[in-house]
Amino acid sequence: MSDQHLFASATAVTEDGSNRYRGEIQPGWDVVGNANGGYLMAMAARAGSAAAGGRAPLSVTAHFLSPGRPGPVRFDTTVHKQGRRLSTVGVAVIALTDDEGRETERPLVQLLGAFGDDPGTDSDIERIDVERPDIPDPDYCIAMEGGDGFPPPLMNRVDLRLHPDDAGFGSGRPLFQGWIRLLDDEPVDPFALMLAADVFPPTVFNANLPVAWAPTIELTVHVRGIPEPGWLQCRFVSHYLMGGLVEEDGEVWDSTGRLVAQSRQLALIPRSDG
Amino acid sequence: MSDQHLFASATAVTEDGSNRYRGEIQPGWDVVGNANGGYLMAMAARAGSAAAGGRAPLSVTAHFLSPGRPGPVRFDTTVHKQGRRLSTVGVAVIALTDDEGRETERPLVQLLGAFGDDPGTDSDIERIDVERPDIPDPDYCIAMEGGDGFPPPLMNRVDLRLHPDDAGFGSGRPLFQGWIRLLDDEPVDPFALMLAADVFPPTVFNANLPVAWAPTIELTVHVRGIPEPGWLQCRFVSHYLMGGLVEEDGEVWDSTGRLVAQSRQLALIPRSDG
């Protein structure tokens, strides 16, 4: 299992009966012991894509039910509709062992997604009215390196560079910009866009607020294109921290400057005295 | 059934066995014969909320599988997790009759949502860094009135006013701003926010592009607050029309100026020669 540092291997799923798949949460893709949400979402979306006959993810929503730890997981898929253009699939992700390695069944993630064939070729209409933000090249950004606590171990599984303005975790703005690529020049498939959508630090970490974590309730990723090889440029921003909740909007562009994903998540803001 | 013009009655669901609910798609909530997606989503979310023990919707995602016509529907609910703070529930919406009134079972909508208790009171942290756009009062906006075609019959079920700049359907910008309220001063509950999120014309109708419709693949609504009585101010905008797809981002504020919902949908852009 020497290739478990590669994303494709670490998120692989295999068929295991009718509408059922298996995989294994690999160590190292975690934040304080809990597997990254985008990593889990990518595994679940692989199972959904397989159940959709190999169609690619277009719009995928994950709800996070409990923390994922290294170990075996099962994916129970339900094809709600298999249409001419789109397949709509639900995926229940179930952990099969507890923290001591004993057998159990614990729901981790519930996913709902639309999968389709190569959406990028079907329309001749194009109108884009925002520009990719101009940020320093990766060599002039700040590399994140994982440790036991913060930055988390996950940062050793990807090459993530933060905009110098954002890397001090005190900019005062709930914003992170930067770059990400997989290790060893591994290509970024649509599933890796889900990792990209959740691998930057929570925007609130830059807002100078007493918020130490922000557990994600729900994350939706729209895949808008297949990335060309190279760095992905990313931008994550929040506008409304209120009522114990914050949204985080993400945009991901490939090395040619083309948007390849949009994301939005809703996260809990725990009480500052809690 | 004289109150079927009221949203609460027109989206009511009743329990019908274990994890099963029933409702009826009412006439008049349609666009060219197909029930509005936000209307269907609200019905499904009512079933989800009931299955969650009455908890309120927080983040709800609907995938639209086929058009809804007036007639009886069934809601099959699955509680994926019933947690201390949140319940995660899936809802399959099944039409029970075909267009000729014969018995059938046809999937209309698949919904996945998180339901919780009064999120607005749980945190003392608040930071909002965008302002509600300044638009003319409802009396100075353009009232939409429904007909057989366009504007659709749905417009007679709500009081919708478009910003004068947007009401000519030729502004050149994929943007609609305006106001909405229910008829007869009916209060807007969190479910009506789903209607609000999908009841304005598609943004592409203002973009001077050869696009006559934009069927929604997926719509996610985050409920950020319980609206105070009065008009809801709404803004819907798109930034990326490309690859046969467009996202539409919505924000809804209540009469006190407080954000009460954010929405995002992904819609198909059919070929202009199709």
Q: Per residue of chain B (274 residues), what is the pLDDT tens digit?
A: 456 669 999 999 999 999 999 999 999 999 888 999 999 999 999 999 999 999 999 999 999 999 999 999 999 999 999 999 999 999 999 999 998 889 999 999 999 999 998 655 567 788 999 989 999 999 999 999 888 777 888 999 999 999 999 999 999 999 999 999 999 999 999 999 999 999 999 999 999 988 888 999 999 999 999 999 999 999 999 999 999 999 999 999 999 999 999 999 999 987 765 4
**Residue of B76, B211, B218, B259 to mutate for A, most A C-beta atoms under 10 A:** B218
Sequence-separated contacts (24+) of A130-139 with Cβ below 8 Å: A130/B239, A130/B240, A132/A233, A132/A253, A132/A257, A132/A259, A133/A177, A133/A233, A133/A235, A135/A163, A135/A177, A135/A178, A135/A233, A136/A163, A136/A164, A138/A179, A138/A231
* Beta carbons of A58 and B211 less than 8 Å apart: no
* Beta carbons of A122 and B241 less than 8 Å apart: no
Considering only CB atoms, B59 lies closest to which of A92, A243, A266, namely A266
Distance between CA atoms of B7 and B3, rounded to whole angstroms? 9
Q: Considering only CA atoms, which of A260, A258, A262 is closest in space to residue A132?
A: A258
Residues in B closer than 8 angstroms to A128, CB to CB, are: 239-242
Q: Considering only CA atoms, which of B43, B42, B24, B31 is closest in space to residue B96?
A: B24
Considering only CB atoms, A218 lies closest to which of B90, B114, B266, namely B114
Residues in B closer than 8 angstroms to A132, CB to CB, are: none
* Beta carbons of A244 and B123 less than 8 Å apart: yes
Q: By the 8 A CB rule, do A152 and B261 touch?
A: no
* Beta carbons of A220 and B218 less than 8 Å apart: yes
Distance between CA atoms of A177 and A156, rounded to whole angstroms? 19
The pLDDT, as a whole number, for residue B95 is: 98
Measured between CB atoms, does A125 come within 8 Å of chain B? yes
Q: By the 8 A CB rule, do B10 and B1 touch?
A: no
* Beta carbons of B112 and A88 less than 8 Å apart: no
* Beta carbons of B126 and A262 less than 8 Å apart: no
Question: What DSSP line would sit under A176-217, residue for residue?
Answer: EEEEEEEGGG----HHHHHHHTT-SPPGGGGTTSS-S---EE
Q: By the 8 A CB rule, do A31 and A83 touch?
A: no
CA distances in angstroms from A222 to A34, B158, B204, B231, listed in the order given: 24, 30, 18, 31
The pLDDT, as a whole number, for residue B4 is: 61
Distance between CA atoms of A28 and A6, rounded to whole angstroms? 11
Q: Considering only CA atoms, which of A85, A65, A270 is closest in space to residue B267?
A: A85
* Beta carbons of A266 and B129 less than 8 Å apart: no
**Residue of B41, B59, B87 to mutate for A, most A C-beta atoms under 10 A:** B59
The pLDDT, as a whole number, for residue A267 is: 96
Distance between CA atoms of B215 and B31, rounded to whole angstroms? 11
Estimate to the nearest angstrom the gap between the alpha carbon of A265 and the chain centroid.
10
The pLDDT, as a whole number, for residue B224 is: 95
* Beta carbons of B119 and A244 less than 8 Å apart: yes
Measured between CB atoms, does B131 come within 8 Å of chain A? no
B residues 137-156 near A, CB within 8 Å? none
Residues in B closer than 8 angstroms to A257, CB to CB, are: none
Measured between CB atoms, does A59 come within 8 Å of chain B? yes
Considering only CB atoms, B58 lies closest to which of A119, A207, A217, namely A217
Helix (H) or strand (E) holding B190: helix B190-196
Query: What is the ipTM score, two decimals?
Result: 0.96
Looking from the CA of A221 toward its CB, the CA atoms found within 13 Å total 29
B residues 215-274 near A, CB within 8 Å? 217-218, 220, 222, 224-225, 239-245, 247, 259, 262, 264, 266, 268-273
Task: For residue B61, give the chain A residue with the closest CA.
Answer: A61
Task: For residue B263, give the chain A residue with the closest CA.
Answer: A264
* Beta carbons of B244 and A209 less than 8 Å apart: no
Considering only CB atoms, A80 lies closest to which of B107, B210, B245, namely B107
Beta bridge partners, A20, equal: A76
**Residue of B77, B245, B273 to mutate for A, most A C-beta atoms under 10 A:** B245
- At B90 the three-state DSSP class reads strand
Residues in A closer than 8 angstroms to B112, CB to CB, are: 61, 63, 90, 110, 112
The pLDDT, as a whole number, for residue A147 is: 82
The pLDDT, as a whole number, for residue B274 is: 47
The pLDDT, as a whole number, for residue B1 is: 43
Token reading at B104: 């059938």
Burial A95-134 (b: 16+ CB within 10 A, else e): bebeeeeeeeebbbbbbbbbbbbebbebbebebeeeeeee
* Beta carbons of A80 and B63 less than 8 Å apart: yes
* Beta carbons of A127 and B222 less than 8 Å apart: no
**Residue of A240, A259, A260 to mutate for B, most B C-beta atoms under 10 A:** A240
**Residue of A81, A89, A123, A220 to mutate for B, most B C-beta atoms under 10 A:** A123
* Residue ranges in chain A whose pLDDT is less than 70: 1-5, 118-122, 272-274
Please enumerate in sequence order all residues whose Cβ is within 8 A of that of B165, keeping only pairs 6 or more positions apart, or say none.
B171, B177
Q: Return the ∠ at Cα A104 (arms to A99 and A110), rounded to 5°.
A: 95
